[in-house]
Structure 1
Amino acid sequence: MRLLDTTTFELRNGDQNSFCQEGYAILSHRWIDTCCINKNSATEEAESINSMFKWYREARLCITYLADVTRDVELPITSPRVFNRASSEERSEWFFRGWTLQELLALQEMQFYDMDWTYMGTKREMAVTLARVTRIDARYLSGAENFRDACIAVKMSWMALRKTTREEDMAYSMLGIFGITMTPQYGEGQGAFMRLQETLMATYLFDESLFAWQMPDLSSDSQHGVRKDKWAPSEWGLLAASPEWFKDSGDIEMAPHESVTRSFAMTPQGLKAPIRRTLYTGEIMALEGVFGILWISFVGTIFGGIGFLYLKHKLNKKAKEDFAFALNCYRRDSDGKLANVEIYLRPTSVDKVRYRYRKNPPSLVAKRIRCNELGIRFKSATDLGEGVVLQPRPGF
């Protein structure tokens, strides 16, 4: 870690723990690591990216310099306009950069200054104003609650309107926010955000809000290199292509005592997920061994056989129908009650109905459809058995 001694103006190198004992201040601004990181060293670059959140969190003070804002003394600090650019009615660019989000969240002692270094206020004093500008609940900004208590979808929604110069940094700048580490691989492009989501999936086993996103519009898929001969508009997998797709997920909640833990894992084909249909646990019994024989014997050989085949046909047809999959995350309905968020799946490959499915469950491969919407319904999240949800990759 490198720090500038404000007494001697000497550049000091050392371990962060030693600097923490003395105490240090840190600067936040819209330019990133121009002077702080030696990018010629892959080791230093990786260590710095994974340590940056800690640098801010353990600082005594963060000085935030808004280079495009002029403080209007006639405006109260409760007005979001205090953060407007001097040349327009838009918010300061600081609020639209990816790396500055973790700086805003990391620590409470933050002071804002305008382009002339005029003092504007502290993060605590301006928490309500900052909440209106960033869409981050004031409770997290004031320190009343730990922002880490927010679910994945909510944290992603905070990044949705932000940009980074390099595509990979959209993922890397969120590592500290989620409390995870990744090895930076510049050049992987969209793959960085996919890796981030796979890491979150393996780390936050109870939090299925990772899948609670919506496409901004039906052309969103084409912006990420998806081949039209394989994926129709509004079709996708379980993992989003960009944080932008979480823009409207800021109201997603997790249950206080979530008891259902389901397994999701990436495979070469897509995500292995508990999506198998419940229809195989009930009606299928009528086709199994003794039940099928008794049915045919009781009804009669001809009519029983016809009924037997009809039920198989009905189940095979039902197995190919679109269906809703309830996640273990929630939204408030019109009465303020928590209801499960659900997404929609369409089977692309299903085993035909045959005997003894309870011992050998049918395979199910599906796509996510209607990706521009999320539903809510009072339906508990249960483990339905494994299937695969296809996941597009760039160039598919």
Structure 2
Amino acid sequence: MRLINTTSHKLEEFFDRPVPPYAILSHRWQVCEATLQNYRSSQGEDGPGIGKVINFCKFAKTQSPSHRYVWIDTCCINKQNSMELMEAINSMYTWYENAQTCFVYLRDLPPKEEVHKKERRDAFCNSEWFHRGWTLQELLAPSRVIFCDRDWKVYDSRVQLAKQIEGITGIAKPFLDGTYQPRRASVAMRMSWASKRYTTKPEDKAYCLLGLFDVNMPLLYGEQKRAFMRFQEEILKHSDDESIFAWTANYTQWGMLAPSPEAFQGSEDIVNFKLAPEQRMPFQMTNKGLRFPSASDTYAKDNVDPSTGEPMGYDDHVVELGCFFGRIKGMTGQHSDALEMWEDGPITIRLKRIGPTWQRVECDNLGQGQNSARRVRRNGSYFGRGVQRIYFIEQPLL
């Protein structure tokens, strides 16, 4: 890890020795930013974007505690080295977690001397920083986040602004004020936090979420939207959270994996539920599509062929997922009311047989199953009921 000494303004490397305490800068990139190469060549004195680095060093030294070292993404990573860039992106969430403080520099937030209090509050709410993909981890990962205005004056902290930030981002207050760790949220809930954010490169819609989902994977710039599909496959390798399938999009038929983060808009209240271990059979991507074992109930859709009058249920199934619609914003599966909400009915999706495989149909809708009250096991998990099957669900290519 490279850090900048706030006194000498020099870059120091900590590749084979312990990393000292440091502060970190979160900011929106401008046209001219200091890269590793031009920062080294400028000797930390002059050049494109150097002013922002120097100003941050001076600011960080005046804060309490005073920071001897700082990290800035633009000039502390050698982006000309693809291996180093990949390692940095896979490590970045941890770097933000380990920072003493993350200072958010909002260049579109005017100082209080220039505008009225309401105008300043509106400028904060409308800041472009809240709409970018990469800034999501910068908001959530650090234990301490401080927002600064254009003149490097402290505006307020994430904890103090938690209710306001909830209204801006849709991220529930408990995940902002330290009540819950962000990774405790369901997959669908975390995806919803990114669903309205944008990135310059399509691949970064997936890459900017790696740390939030505790996923590591190679970066393949050029794969475009395929990156998000690969990202979901990586999540399935270590998570049995079925809310990853609780998305909606305007498709008459599709696979089980969402086509983009935008499909999770409206999933901010979906909660994953604890099912019995044997009900959490592994998912697996095969040459016939995703192997999807139904973890809960499966039942035939009560459809009739209008031409013959014969039942069509064999090829048309409704499958319950191991998640439900929460009635309390920001709740997790450990909430005391989770059982009651689960028993109101789990989320359902509809599958239709297409030849030897299946596909999800009516993808613009999530259903809700029947009351799912069931006996409790000694270990606190729940018995299943109904018929359970294994489906091979074809995943269309993007």
Shorter-chain TM band: 0.7 to 0.9
* Separation in structure 2 between the aligned mates of residue 333 and residue 14 of structure 1, nearest angstrom: 47
Q: Secondary structure at the match of 2:130?
A: helix
Contact kept in structure 1, 2:253 and 2:363, CA below 8 Å: yes
Match of 2:227 in 1: 192
Task: Return the match for 2:209 from 168, 171, 174.
Answer: 174
- Give the alignment's TM-score, normalised by structure 2: 0.74
Contact kept in structure 2, 1:99 and 1:164, CA below 8 Å: yes
Structure 1 gaps, min length 5: 85-90, 219-232, 281-312, 350-363
Query: Which has a greater percent of helix?
Result: 1
Cα displacement (A) at 1:8: 1.7
Q: Give runs of aligned pairs for residues 1-396 of structure 1, distance below 5 A.
A: 1-15=1-15, 18-19=18-19, 22-31=20-29, 33-72=73-112, 74-75=116-117, 81-84=122-125, 91-205=126-240, 207-215=241-249, 218=250, 233-256=251-274, 259=277, 260-274=279-293, 317-320=312-315, 322-332=316-326, 337-338=341-342, 339-349=345-355, 365-378=357-370, 384-394=388-398
Residues 53 and 332 from structure 1, CA distance in 2 versus in 1: closer, same or farther, beyond 3 angstroms?
closer
* Separation in structure 1 between the aligned mates of residue 298 and residue 73 of structure 2, nearest angstrom: 52
Residues 258 and 15 from structure 1, CA distance in 2 versus in 1: closer, same or farther, beyond 3 angstroms?
farther
Contact kept in structure 2, 1:97 and 1:164, CA below 8 Å: yes
Match of 1:284 in 2: none
Q: Secondary structure at the match of 1:157?
A: helix
- Measured against aligned partners, the alpha-carbon deviations of 1:39-78 in whole angstroms (never above 9, x if no partner) come to 221210111011111111101111100111224575379x
- Give the alignment's TM-score, normalised by structure 1: 0.74
- Measured against aligned partners, the alpha-carbon deviations of 1:152-176 in whole angstroms (never above 9, x if no partner) come to 0000000001111111111111111
- Measured against aligned partners, the alpha-carbon deviations of 1:70-95 in whole angstroms (never above 9, x if no partner) come to 24575379x962514xxxxxx11111
* Separation in structure 1 between the aligned mates of residue 16 and residue 134 of structure 2, nearest angstrom: 20
* Separation in structure 1 between the aligned mates of residue 83 and residue 275 of structure 2, nearest angstrom: 41
Cα displacement (A) at 1:33: 4.1
* Separation in structure 1 between the aligned mates of residue 263 and residue 121 of structure 2, nearest angstrom: 25
Cα displacement (A) at 1:246: 0.3
Letter of the 2:96 counterpart: Y
Q: Which moved more, 1:59-68 or 1:330-339?
A: 330-339
- Measured against aligned partners, the alpha-carbon deviations of 1:111-133 in whole angstroms (never above 9, x if no partner) come to 10112223210111111111111
Identity %: 38
**Between Structure 1 and Structure 2, how many residues are aligned?**
321
* Separation in structure 2 between the aligned mates of residue 256 and residue 326 of structure 1, nearest angstrom: 14
Structure 2 gaps, min length 5: 30-71, 301-307, 329-336, 373-383
* Separation in structure 2 between the aligned mates of residue 327 and residue 48 of structure 1, nearest angstrom: 35
Residues 57 and 17 from structure 1, CA distance in 2 versus in 1: closer, same or farther, beyond 3 angstroms?
farther
* Separation in structure 2 between the aligned mates of residue 377 and residue 154 of structure 1, nearest angstrom: 20
Q: Secondary structure at the match of 1:201?
A: helix
Letter of the 1:123 counterpart: R
Residues 185 and 76 from structure 1, CA distance in 2 versus in 1: closer, same or farther, beyond 3 angstroms?
same
Letter of the 1:209 counterpart: S
* Separation in structure 2 between the aligned mates of residue 39 and residue 179 of structure 1, nearest angstrom: 23
Letter of the 2:18 counterpart: S
CA RMSD of aligned residues (A): 2.9
Cα displacement (A) at 1:137: 0.9
Cα displacement (A) at 1:318: 3.2
